[in-house]
């Protein structure tokens, strides 16, 4: 197998690398101990646990001109095309599953917070860390550019093989609101989907091997 080790500080065109390599390890700028860290990861002494803080597009065609700052078609929040590597994506040697997403209440008002709990399990054979990510899909609201997904929270967990752990998030009304063009924040009524997983809950993440997220629907009245 070919392991491509890539250094850099921003998204880049990795189409040629992706075609040739079995695995791509992005090390950013690792510093003087970077070689030792990379060796530990490549030879299995440690498990990768990072997640992309940016989107890696397929090409420049996925980066529209800045004719406006409405962000339509830009970033993980509004990009409808499938990128090369999506925001939040990252694999590890552990095999973590996400299940049992549940809410303290399935319906709420625009002034009351709700608790979300999900279970993360390491079904693999190696102890691993993972960043558990919470994304929201809002109901549409007139006059507001509704994101496809919105990162609401995350937690880093470390699990031994066969171990499960509950992760909890608070869905507070002020954190769920969307901001309109006039700068006013408002919480739209309707069904809001919450996703708990190890990557952006998109088709491209699943196609690249990310674990299926757990999801639950909260109705806002």
Give the residue-averaged pLDDT of 125-131: 92
58 DSSP 8-state letter: S
Quote the pLDDT of residue 142. Answer: 67
Give the residue-averaged pLDDT of 89-110: 94
Spell out a b/e string for 152-178, using b for 16 or more CB atoms within 10 Å of the CB, else e: bbbeebebeeeeeeebebebebeebbb
Q: 141-159, pLDDT tens digit by residue?
A: 767 889 999 999 999 999 9
Q: 34-93, pLDDT tens digit by residue?
A: 999 999 999 999 999 999 999 999 988 888 777 777 778 889 999 999 999 999 999 999
pTM of the model: 0.92
Q: Confirm or reject CATH 2.60.40.10 for domain 96-220, answering yes or no.
A: yes
Q: 161-193, pLDDT tens digit by residue?
A: 999 999 999 999 988 998 887 888 888 899 999
Contact between 141 and 188 (Cβ < 8 Å): yes
Strands (E), the chain: 3-7, 23-28, 96-103, 107-108, 114-122, 128-137, 150-159, 164-171, 178-179, 185-186, 190-197, 214-220
Other CB atoms within 10 Å distance of the CB of residue 132: 22
Domain layout of the chain by residue ranges: 1-46, 96-220
Contact between 161 and 125 (Cβ < 8 Å): yes
Determine the Cα–Cα distance for residues 122 and 148; give it in Å rounded to an integer: 29
């Amino acid at each position: 197998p070919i392991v491509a080790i890539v250094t850099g500080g921003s998204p880049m065109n990795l189409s040629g690398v992706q075609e040739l390599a079995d695995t791509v390890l992005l090390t950013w700028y690792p510093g003087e101990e970077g070689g030792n860290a990379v060796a530990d990861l490549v030879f299995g002494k440690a498990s990768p646990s990072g997640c992309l803080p940016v989107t890696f597009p397929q090409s420049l065609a996925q980066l529209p001109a800045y004719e406006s700052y409405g962000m339509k078609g830009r970033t993980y929040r509004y990009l409808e095309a499938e990128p090369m590597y999506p925001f939040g994506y990252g694999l590890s040697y552990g095999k973590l599953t996400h299940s049992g997403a549940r809410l303290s209440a399935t319906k709420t008002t625009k002034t009351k917070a709700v608790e979300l709990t999900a279970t993360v399990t390491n079904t693999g054979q190696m102890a691993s860390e993972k960043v558990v990510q919470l994304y929201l899909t809002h109901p549409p609201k007139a006059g507001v550019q509704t994101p496809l997904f919105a990162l609401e929270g995350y937690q880093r967990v470390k699990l031994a093989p066969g171990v499960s752990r509950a992760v909890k998030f608070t869905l507070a009304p002020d954190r769920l609101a969307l901001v309109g063009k006039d700068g006013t924040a408002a919480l739209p009524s309707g069904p809001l989907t919450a996703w708990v997983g190890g990557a952006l809950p998109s088709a491209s993440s699943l196609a690249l091997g990310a674990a299926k997220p757990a999801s639950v629907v909260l109705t806002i009245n």
